[in-house]
Amino acid sequence: MHAFFVRFNRRLTAPLDLWPRLCLVVAALLLAAIYFFPLWNMTMFAPQYPEGLQLDIFSYSLVGGNGGQDLKEINLLNHYIGMRDLAVEEFTEFKWLPFVVGIIGLLYLRASVIGTLGSLLDVFVVNLYFSLFSLWSFGFKLYSYGHTLAPTASVKVEPFMPPMFGYKQLANFEVYSYPALASYAMGLSTLLVTVALVATWRRTRRDDTTTAS
Amino acid sequence: MNGTRVRTAIWAVVGVAVLAVTVNRCAPSAPKGRQERAGATSDVAVAAQKTYVAPGDLDEYYFFASGGHSGQVYVYGVPSMRHLSTIPVFTPYPATGYGFDDESKKMLGDLTWGDAHHPALSETKGDYDGRWLFINEMNGRVARIDLRDFKTKQIFGPVPNVSGNHGSAFVTPNTEYSIMASRFSIPLPKGTAVEVGKYATEYKGVVSGIRIDPTSGEMSYGWQVLMPPFDYDLGDAGKLASDGYVFFTAYNAERATGKLEVTASQKDRDYIAVVDWRLAQKATDEGKGDMIGGVKVLDPKKVPGVVYLMPMGKSPHGVDVSPDGKYIIGSGKLQGVTVAFNWEKVQTAIRNKDFSGEEDGIPVLKYESIKDAEIPVGLGPLHTQFGPDGWAYTSLFVDSAIAKWKLGTWEVVDKVPMSYSIGHLSSAEGDTVSPDGKYLVGLNKLSHGRHLSVGPSQPESSQLVDISDEKMKLLYDAFTEPEPHYAQMIKADKIKTIEVYPQAENKHPLAIWDVKDAGVTRNGNKVLVKMVAVRSTLTPTDFELKDGDEVTVAITNIEQTTDELHGFGLLDYNINIVVDPGETKTVTFKANKKGVYPYYCTNFCSALHQEMQGYMIVR
């Protein structure tokens, strides 16, 4: 057991090759997408809205289509079923999310300079935790919006889970919810880091074997 | 009575009966023209295909038709001929709340009707620019409709001295002016009473130019020229070659009164007046006019060159300038010909003082010197519109047809019957410097038998004609409310509309955008109710007044969504407001009836529209 940790710890100090370091730099740059592009997009069609209502979720804000008008329209329609307004102030995520992504980016850059497998593993775990937490938080937000409906609502509907990924019919609306450009950039970023991690891990194992023999 | 006599009598009776039956059968059961008219009905399949605009598809042209004495403008799509919208101008229109809110009520003034005749789309370099639509009415007013939102923005007038503003609202090539003219000469200034017996000397006509601000479209007084007591009927502005001049037809050169249909139809020649509008404005700015009715009016004797008369036979109606501005086409409604005057010859005649006489100091040009052709178009020519390649189309009231002829060669090549008695006609951008051809609409006065009967109050008929080929082809009958006179057809993509009023543009001092700001404030017996309309509540949902209060309700529709109009109908108080998305409207009235009065949203808005209601309580 102890021997495993010794071996494991030794491998964590192994330096990265050049290309995994470059992967990390690219991964860090990709994260910048969250400052410019939406993470998620919801599109809603109804007979009365043939062009669809658009809602873009950025890391720091909610932006309705049609110059912001679509968000107002969504809130206006939701008030009939007693749903709270989707308001930027209600999302604490918008305060910490861009900040945390910034830190992760910095940690990627740090790992690319310090260049040990350990530093790479650290930020990989942090990123994994952060990504999963964000997804859960997003899902929970949707859940709570769909489940805390005012009892005085003029139209009573069963509490519901808005779609997080994919399509769902909600009353007269077809709702489509999909990750948007910034999420894909984040996914790609994570993929690059994973590749760097796995490749380096396999290389150190090879190194280990070589040393042992 | 003996047998012979009886037989004779019987034969006589039989003979007369046979004769009666035979003679009766001599007259055909249908007019000779019937066969020709049948030919005017187009190939149904082709016509259907050319006019069918599938559900959800859009038309190619906007068609703005004057509403005549309905005081409104009707908007149609071409080629479907579907009625798209009604723009109220001179008449209250409950459907949009026009004439009920403070602003539109003020704009209408004391007049709740107007006889709207000639729409004039704004132009840049003689071509429609899609910014505004001007329209005249007989009480001496011109209105401006903004084509950004299809709303009447200004009603200018009644303009002093103009009496019966028929020859209007034609605009100059860069929308510098909209023109006006007196159809009914009267003693001036208005308010002067002189017996009709002194008509020839004491009554006066007036032609006028209304200045238009090039950026805002705002109208203001430009100039007026005092004219002999004729009846000024129609007008048009010169363009390209003839830019700088406006033309007015005048009938009743006889200066007759009484039964005009006889007395004003005696002379073989009446006139077309030619006005140099730049000179008219310059002379007015230099103070050369005499003050009449509160404005400076130019006397042609004191401003030589401001106006000339072109002799025109007989009892002319329309005057239309060709796309290149080189020909002035006059139509004498009691003639069988349309006259083409050559603008170059007109200018030469003016230069050479080639006059045949004068009327109250206005030189009359020599007919033979300025006329290029008398085109035998048919009976009762009224108006001419143009197509590309020098084609011209003249409406024939008496013949009930449209004649197609060519500028320059003056050859009449085709005729298409109209059902029935065509007045104006309107081809696609047909009075601009670059007519499109393609479509032509005949605006007919009579429609009998062409539609399901609706009783004695009959609609007018508007017939769509395909003019893209050598032969004109009738495509479609549409029926329009009384009563389109002139209409204009503009390519749809030239008009850029908004569908909501952006919140940022609403500068109304009483606008509020949050239901929290809605409420009632009192200042003595003056009460202000600031109201928000948004799906599906009118906030406040009730307010209390004291008997005799003067109340202003200011309603802001805070929606920014297309088609989400809200209404405010207040029962028993004759109040009916419609507020478009992003708009604020006010209505001021005296609460002089005690009790509880419901108000509600009149314009269907949402699933809970019926719940959008409240109470006004007057104690």
CB contact under 8 A, B560 and A154: no
Name the minimum distance, in Å, from the CA of B606 to any CA of chain A.
10
Which chain A residues are within 8 Å of B559, Cβ to Cβ? 76
pLDDT classification of B31: cutoffs 50, 70, 90: low
Which chain A residues are within 8 Å of B535, Cβ to Cβ? 76
Task: Note whether B508 contacts A: Cβ–Cβ < 8 A.
Answer: no
Interstrand relation of B290-292 and B270-276 (parallel, antiparallel or unpaired): unpaired
Residue pLDDT, tens place only, B313-355? 888 999 999 999 999 999 988 888 999 999 999 999 999 999 9
pLDDT of the residue at B54: 96
Residues B253 and B390 in one domain: yes
Give B249's strand partners. B272
Residue pLDDT, tens place only, A134-157? 999 999 999 999 999 999 998 888
Q: What CATH number has the domain bearing residue B574? A: 2.60.40.420
Instruction: State mean pLDDT over B407-430.
Output: 96
Q: What CATH number has the domain bearing residue B198? A: 2.130.10.10
Give the distance from CA A11 to its chain's centroid.
30
Residue B18 reports pLDDT greater than 80: no
Stretch among B42-51, B525-534, B567-576 having the lowest mean pLDDT = B42-51
- For B68, B229, B375, the CA distances from B366, given in Å and listed in that order, are 36, 21, 19
pLDDT of the residue at B21: 59
Prior bond of B79 cis (ω within 30°): yes
Residue B130 reports pLDDT greater than 90: yes
Instruction: State mean pLDDT over B559-569.
Output: 95
- Which residues constitute the domain of residue B593? 503-618
Residues B481 and B568 in one domain: no
Residue B405 reports pLDDT greater than 50: yes
pLDDT of the residue at A194: 95
Mean residue pLDDT of chain B comes to 94
Residue B25 reports pLDDT greater than 70: no
Which chain B residues are within 8 Å of A72, Cβ to Cβ? 560-561
Prior bond of A20 cis (ω within 30°): no
CB contact under 8 A, A72 and B560: yes
pLDDT classification of B189: cutoffs 50, 70, 90: very high
Which chain A residues are within 8 Å of B607, Cβ to Cβ? 80, 155
Residues B400 and B513 in one domain: no
Closest CA to B166 of B433, B486, B532, B568: B486
Residues B176 and B134 in one domain: yes
Q: What is the secondary structure of B443-471 as a DSSP string?
A: EES--TTSS----SSPPEEEEEEE-SSSS
pLDDT of the residue at A211: 65
Residues B436 and B519 in one domain: no
Name the minimum distance, in Å, from the CA of A38 to any CA of chain B.
24
**Any domain includes B479:** yes
ipTM of the complex: 0.73
Instruction: State mean pLDDT over B132-144.
Output: 98
pLDDT of the residue at B29: 66
Residues B463 and B332 in one domain: yes
Nearest to B608 among A69, A72, A154 (CB): A154
CB contact under 8 A, B561 and A80: no
pLDDT of the residue at B20: 62
Residue B115 reports pLDDT greater than 50: yes
Residue B12 reports pLDDT greater than 80: no
> Which percentage of chain A shows pLDDT scores above 70?
99
pLDDT of the residue at A212: 56
Which chain B residues are within 8 Å of A73, Cβ to Cβ? 561
Residue B502 reports pLDDT greater than 50: yes
pLDDT of the residue at B481: 86
Hey, where are the domains in chain A? 16-208
A103, A31 contact by CB (below 8 A): no
**Any domain includes B545:** yes
The number of distinct structural domains making up chain B is 2
Name the minimum distance, in Å, from the CA of B212 to any CA of chain A.
34
Residues B475 and B509 in one domain: no
Closest CA to B103 of B143, B39, B152: B152
More confident residue, B373 or B17: B373
> Which percentage of chain B shows pLDDT scores above 90?
87
The values of phi and psi at residue B32, to 5°, are -60, -35
Q: Which of A48, A49, A69 best tests the B interface by mutation, with the highest count of B CBs <10 A?
A: A69
**Any domain includes B145:** yes
pLDDT of the residue at B39: 45
Measured CA to CA, the distance from residue A63 to residue A56 in angstroms comes to 5
Residues B465 and B597 in one domain: no
CA-based nearest residue in chain A for residue B56 = A50
pLDDT of the residue at B14: 79
pLDDT classification of A1: cutoffs 50, 70, 90: confident
Instruction: State mean pLDDT over B433-445.
Output: 97
pLDDT of the residue at B394: 98
Instruction: State mean pLDDT over B283-287.
Output: 97
CA-based nearest residue in chain B for residue A153 = B608
Residue pLDDT, tens place only, B512-542? 999 999 999 999 999 999 999 999 999 999 9
**Any domain includes B395:** yes
Task: Note whether A172 contacts B: Cβ–Cβ < 8 A.
Answer: no
Distance from the first to the final alpha carbon of chain B: 98
pLDDT classification of B266: cutoffs 50, 70, 90: confident
Q: Which of B57, B500, B557, B560 best tests the A interface by mutation, with the highest count of A CBs <10 A?
A: B560
Residue A195 reports pLDDT greater than 80: yes
Question: Who contacts B342 (Cβ-Cβ below 8 Å, separation ≥6)?
Answer: B326, B327, B370, B371, B372
**Any domain includes B562:** yes
Give the distance from CA B167 to its chain's centroid.
10
Residue B1 reports pLDDT greater than 60: no
Residues B467 and B515 in one domain: no
Instruction: State mean pLDDT over B284-289.
Output: 96
CB contact under 8 A, A69 and B560: yes
**Any domain includes B328:** yes
pLDDT classification of B557: cutoffs 50, 70, 90: very high
Residue pLDDT, tens place only, A80-124? 999 999 999 988 889 999 999 999 999 999 999 988 999 999 999
At A24, which helix (H) or strand (E)?
helix A18-31
Stretch among B33-47, B173-187, B397-411, B436-450 having the lowest mean pLDDT = B33-47
